[in-house]
Amino acid sequence: MNKKHGFNEPSIDLNLAPQFPTGKYADHINFGRSNLIKALENKSDMSYFIMTYDAYSSFDKENKNPELLEARRHYSCSIIILFNFEKSFNFNEIENTNMEKIELLFSEFISLIYNILDQGYYVGAVINNPILFKYFQPFLIWGILPYSSTESQVHREFISALNLPVGFECQSLGKTQLAINGIISASSPHNFI
């Protein structure tokens, strides 16, 4: 972990250009982002059901995820599939892997994201690693920083450049208000002394 920035940083060089979704995928993602922002500002009745998967390999690509089908059946809500990139892409394991294999791994994950979007769901991610997040950001409607503080200058600077809502994964009694405060804070201009 890079102690200065608080992020886990890979020791490999990832010069992969981020891909950008187009057409119906871009429309679906933009719709999800704008509705999520409205919901966070209490300007919408839209509700979101968030399902977390530690690694993308645990998500069933064949639409047989019973918990998602159950949520869709019983609730009138949008569903966000939340991935932990750090667990999906273990840099300690792929550090000595050639770039071709890494590109294949990323390509498989992009394919899975398209599969999720085709099913009408949205995708979010825990932001452990800014390099990975930069690559996948165009596909996401929500990001979570796995840190309990909403006051970290580095984290606020990082998220102020993003074009999607970002929350904080707080360890304090499971209250969501800190995450909401973090999102509100990130949407305002910052001045640092």
- Give the tens place of pLDDT for each residue, 136-150: 888 888 887 766 555
As for how many domains the chain has, the answer is: 1
Which residues are paired to 2 by β-bridges? 7
The answer to whether residue 3 is domain-embedded is no
Select the more confidently predicted residue: 98 or 56: 98
- Give the tens place of pLDDT for each residue, 171-192: 545 455 655 665 666 566 554 4
Q: The tokens of 11 are what?
A: 């020791």
The answer to whether residue 163 is domain-embedded is yes
The answer to whether residue 9 is domain-embedded is no
- Give the tens place of pLDDT for each residue, 113-130: 888 888 888 888 877 666
The answer to whether residue 120 is domain-embedded is yes
β-pairing verdict for 142-145 and 166-168 = parallel
The answer to whether residue 4 is domain-embedded is no
Q: Coil, strand, or helix at residue 92?
A: helix
Q: Dihedral angle at the C-alpha atoms of 95, 163, 78, 56, nearest 10 degrees?
A: 0
Looking at every residue in the chain, the average pLDDT score rounds to 67
How many CB atoms sit inside 10 A of residue 66's CB?
8
Q: Could you give the CA distance from residue 82 to residue 124 in angstroms, rounded to a whole number?
A: 5
- Give the tens place of pLDDT for each residue, 147-159: 655 556 666 666 6
Residue given tokens 């890494």 in the structure block: 102
The answer to whether residue 8 is domain-embedded is no
The answer to whether residue 17 is domain-embedded is no
Select the more confidently predicted residue: 102 or 34: 34
**Domain that residue 31 falls in:** 23-186
CATH number of 147's domain: 3.20.20.70
